[in-house]
Amino acid sequence: MQSSGKRKDFANPFCRSIILSVGNKWVILVVLLFVTLNISARVTPLGQDPDWSKLDPFQNLWSLESFRSELKNIYCPRESWWKPWIKFEPGQVLIRKKAGKEDWYILQCLPISKGEEKDQNLSVPLEIKTIALDPGHIGGEYAEMEGRSFRMGEDDFVKEGDLSLKVAKRVKDLLEEKGFKAILVRSNLKPVTKRKPQAFEALVETWIKERDFTNLPVEEIEILKRKRREMLFYRVSEIHARAKLINEHIQPDLTICLHLNAAPWGDENKKELVDRNDYHVLVNGCYMGGELAFDDQRFEMIFRLLSAWQKTEQIFAEKVSVSFGRKTGLPAFAYKGPNALKVGNTPGVWARNLLANRIYQCPVVFMEPYIANSKTEYERIQLGPYEGTKNFGLHPRLSLVEEYAQCLLEGILAATGK
């Protein structure tokens, strides 16, 4: 559950945690920390130095033009973002392996890529048999720590991790009825990672020592340290643990990350439900310059591009977006900032670089339907499961979980031609 309109997807994900949890007085400090990280860091938190030899199987499979087209139209739309890291020379692409060093991986290209010789029609049905369902966040007792829990008055708490798991379980049942193999990445309200916030104490102490916090009160430094430990646990370590499960064990044809969106509160001190309600669907792409400064993110972008997963992601995202628009009657959300790129002509389908859709080594589609703190969806969430439909305004609606699941099923069936 995140606010699409004001969300800042910095390469260092700690930035947003501090802003949300501590307050506006930290905004300038956090931005400065982000700049420092971009200059000094080589890999993202808990990331690994990339093994560039993993790109060797892609030698002589792409043409320069097809590579350049994917880079520009999907993965990095601004030349100023990729130019320090990627060079085009006759018959080859050079990718800088380490920031600040003249050490380049050389990708040999063909005059015409094998991919260009194939039918590029995005309406071709997908060959998908195994689908991993990844319920966003953790929920349960961790929801407050994650910043994914709220309620109005004495109502039941709205916890994104709980809701996404309910949706995933319902989608699993529907898919299995249609003959798909559906596997839950998270099956309960517990983290997949075995590591706890305390496991990152040494990393956080090093992080603090590398930065000048001498002007901050001790109690505020302790808040920073606690938030940093928690973020490394629930956001970074958790996603890396899920990636290991997906990449090494499930090995699906498609992963669907299930989330619900939220809008900014008009007044943090006097929270009121909002009128806005919409949906959107994300594929991987739109890597910004600061993100490509990290060796692991740069490698992961190139690996995804060469793996040619984008076509599968876009087909599915477009079919599901159409399904959500038709079945819910909601408008498609449109980004305004540089951290997202519109792909294709179907409303609601955008490319963004997120940790999950970057390190899960398969086609990944990231769902962000509904505004959980909107008047309509909050009421539906409070009602819980119910039979048939209920009228909200002039519109009969299924329960939120059932509608979400049915929209996904319809999109999957349309994408696979079933």
Helix (H) or strand (E) holding 134: strand 130-135
Q: Please spell the DSSP secondary structure of 41-81, one letter per residue.
A: -SS-TT-----GGGGGGGTTSS-HHHHHHHIIIII---HHH
Split at pLDDT 50, 70, 90, the class of 214 is confident
> Whole-prediction pTM value?
0.89
Q: How much is the pLDDT for 50?
A: 97
Q: Which band of pLDDT confidence, cut at 50, 70 and 90, is reported for residue 112?
A: confident
Say yes or no to pLDDT of 113 above 60: no
Lookup: tokens for 329: 């009657």
Cα gap 228→89, rounded to integer Å? 42
Q: What digits encode the pLDDT tens for the residues 149-202?
A: 999 999 999 999 999 999 999 999 999 999 999 999 999 999 999 999 999 999
In angstroms, rounded to a whole number, what is the distance separating the alpha carbons of residues 197 and 77? Answer: 36
CA atoms within 13 A on the CB side of 211: 22
| Domain 14-48+121-416, CATH homologous superfamily name and number | Zn-dependent exopeptidases (3.40.630.40)
- The average pLDDT across 139-153 equals 97
What ranges do the domains of the chain cover? 14-48+121-416, 56-117
In angstroms, the CA 361 to CA 255 distance is 9
Please list, residue by residue across 403-413, b when 16 or more beta carbons sit within 10 angstroms of its beta carbon and e when fewer do. Answer: bbbbbbbbbbb
Any idea what DSSP says for residue 86?
Answer: E
**Distance (Å) of CA 115 to CA 146, 306, 307, 366:** 41, 10, 11, 25
Q: What is the mean pLDDT of the chain?
A: 89
**Which of the four pLDDT bands, split at 50, 70 and 90, describes residue 117?**
very low
With bands split at pLDDT 50, 70 and 90, how would you rate the model's confidence at 114? low
Neighbours of 111 (CB within 10 A): 9
| Nearest CA among 131, 242, 113, 125 for reference residue 182 | 131
